[in-house]
Homo-oligomer: A and B are copies of this chain.
Amino acid sequence: MSNVNTVNETVSLLMNHRSVRQFTDTQVTEEQLNTIISTAQRASTSSNVQAYSVIAITEPELKGKLAAFAGNQAYVEQCSVFLVWCADLHRLKQVTAPHLGDKPSYEDSMENLIVATIDVTLAAQNAAIAAESLGLGIVYIGGIRNQIAEVSQLLGLPELVYPVFGMCIGYPEQENELKPRLPIEAVLHKNGYNKEQSVEQVKAYDMTTKQYMLERTEGKNDTPWSQVMATRLALPHRLHMKKFLESKGFMKK
């Protein structure tokens, strides 16, 4: 296969992404942060709603508290900037209120929760890629949803805002290996959903991940992916999410 037309600097950057969980002491500059957030703002957004906010945490005490809330993840404290990416329908509600008067509005619909969650994720991924292109490393932190109510209170998040994930940014201390992903045929379907193919391909992936684990643990662990996933799905993980989102004014319609 010739790769002549499909490899360029950006594709290489995307193909080489790995999460970074150890950072040097060198700080991210204000200019870098502005570039990163500016690229985030250029991402697509549903009908230009821009339904997100991002909170840059640099105060050591705040980072320490967030690290604890996220399940004692040291890199949240250690990284130069910790970004908390929030789905935000509060700003929209505030600025549209004077135009709406007594008219009903639907910022609290399931659809708008989905829209805001997509918007913030598109923006965050642009930020991740921009950061990596500048030689920085990042890791997404879903752990801030472990104690989502406490995180929200600490950061003063109003109604109709929820913290979707965090992101550590800093200069990488080490380079991790690339983890193998599912075969492309497991995720890419043609002209319709192909149940059999998707599940069939996981068998091959189980062999790959078994081998990968064996090599990484010097023969101590050979758990295939599907079994790791089974253990994960069997955990009653963050079952507070539905009630929390409802309590913040989401999903009323």
Which residues of A are at the interface with B, using a C-beta cutoff of 8 A? 1-3, 5-11, 13-17, 19, 29, 31-32, 34-35, 37-44, 46-50, 52-59, 62, 86, 88, 90-96, 98-100, 103-107, 109-112, 114-115, 117-118, 121-122, 124-126, 128-130, 133-134, 139-140, 142, 145, 155-158, 161, 164-165, 178-179, 181-182, 184, 186-193, 195, 198-199, 202, 225-239, 241-242, 245, 251, 253
Contacts and interface: CB of A to CB of B under 8 A. Distances in A.
Given A121-B122, A128-B44, A130-B10, A234 B106 contact: yes
Given A184-B34, A229-B95, A241-B111, A190 B50 contact: no
Contacts of A15: 38-39, 42
Q: Give the copy number.
A: 2
17 contacts: A5-B31, A11-B133, A14-B129, A16-B42, A38-B184, A41-B181, A42-B181, A53-B193, A57-B191, A90-B195, A91-B186, A91-B198, A95-B229, A96-B230, A100-B230, A110-B241, A155-B193
A245 B167 CA distance: 28
The 7 closest A-B pairs by CB, nearest first: A99-B230, A10-B133, A110-B242, A96-B230, A121-B121, A6-B35, A125-B125
Given A62-B192, A104-B234, 13 more contacts: A14-B129, A15-B38, A48-B179, A48-B225, A53-B189, A54-B189, A55-B193, A57-B191, A96-B230, A109-B237, A109-B239, A110-B245, A114-B241
Contacts of A235: 106
A88 to B, nearest CB: 8
A191 B99 contact: no
A78 to B, nearest CB: 17
Given A14-B42, A164-B114, A233-B96, A192 B155 contact: yes
Contacts of A232: 47, 49
A79 to B, nearest CB: 15
Contacts of A251: 242
A101 to B, nearest CB: 9
Contact of A31 (B1, B37, B43): B1
Contacts of A6: 31-32, 34-35, 134
Identify which of A6, A43, A165 gathers the most chain B CB atoms within 10 Å of its CB. A6
Contact of A242 (B161, B202, B253): B253
